[in-house]
Amino acid sequence: MSSNVEELVIAKVKALVPEQQKVVLKFVETLERDAAAEVESFALDGQTIWDEIELLSRQVSPEEWAKVPPDLSENIDHYLYGSPKKK
């Protein structure tokens, strides 16, 4: 799917006049800088992925955690795709 999006973006950019293409280029460069800054700021704050997971899990209410099936890790394919349960 991403290649379809990429092809669509390229086709639309090619259809623009050169001045509009320059505006698109500046926008893409801004997106790249913003993404790089986000990665850098995350790396600099000393958090690991496990710290981030813990932070996110604390934001889920106990009522929502109670809805998680106890066999989720064992039967993830069943819950996501409807395949038969393993046990």
Segment holding 77, helix H or strand E: helix 76-81
Residue 30 lies in a domain: yes
* Each residue's pLDDT tens digit, 5-49: 999 999 999 999 999 999 999 998 888 887 777 665 655 566 788
Confidence of residue 2 (pLDDT cuts 50, 70, 90): low
Q: Provide the domain limits for residue 30.
A: 2-46
Residue 16 lies in a domain: yes
Number of separate domains in the chain? 1
Distance of alpha carbon 27 from the chain centroid = 20
Give the pLDDT score at 40.
Answer: 59
Confidence of residue 50 (pLDDT cuts 50, 70, 90): confident
**Sign of torsion over alpha carbons 74, 80, 81, 85:** positive
Residue 11 lies in a domain: yes
Residue 32 lies in a domain: yes
Residue 36 lies in a domain: yes
